[in-house]
Amino acid sequence: MDQYSRMVSYLKVFLPLAALALLATLFLISPGSDGEVTIPFADREIEERLRGQQVTAPFFSGSTAQGDEIWVTADVARASEDQPVIASALRAEIRMTTGGQITLTSDRGTVHPDQDLARFVGNVEIITTDGMVVETEALKTQLSAVHAESPGAIQATGDLGDLTAGHMEIASETVGGPVHLLFTNGVKLVYSPQKLER
């Protein structure tokens, strides 16, 4: 047997023994478990969860009769008897069959599945595919159709310029028709032609 073959024979025995010795030292040196398991929640968070029913990262999805997709999500949702679901950081995304998309976000809100309704409250922001950004304090939306309404004043920014109005509605004039943002109640538009040139 030549020197190379002899070396390979020794390594076939030595390397597995060395690996076994390394594994054994891992288990011998590793810190033992004290038997106490820590929960990855703060004490305050545990108390809040125990006080009421709470769901983390809930979502609702559905589609309209025309095939538009509606997704509603939140960071946290709480439910109690005879009251709507109360959500923190409420978000919705509406993907229309025509290719457009509307994104809704707010600090909080309520979801009323039995009434086919979601209410967005606090720093509501509406962003459309064509770049329109609308801000308001409250927005009422349907869960089974592309329809939303702002009961109060809105501020919007888009390609045409800056816009303010006392009321806004997101709807389609005809069944299956294109979705429009309709502004009413003292509409003021500051036209910015340079925005269109972009």
Each residue of 173-195: pLDDT tens digit? 777 778 889 999 999 989 877 65
Question: Of 182, 180, 181, 174, which Cα lies nearest the Cα of 66?
Answer: 174
pLDDT range class, residue 118, cuts 50, 70, 90: very high
Residue recorded with tokens 């720093």? 123
What are 11's two structure tokens?
């390594």
Residue range 122-134, pLDDT digits in tens:
999 999 998 899 9
Question: Of 13, 146, 125, which Cα lies nearest the Cα of 71?
Answer: 146
Those residues with Cβ within 8 angstroms of residue 173's Cβ, 6 or more apart along the chain or in another chain: 180
Domains in the chain with CATH codes: 55-196 (2.60.450.10)
The more confidently predicted of residues 82 and 10 is 10
Q: Whole-model pTM?
A: 0.70
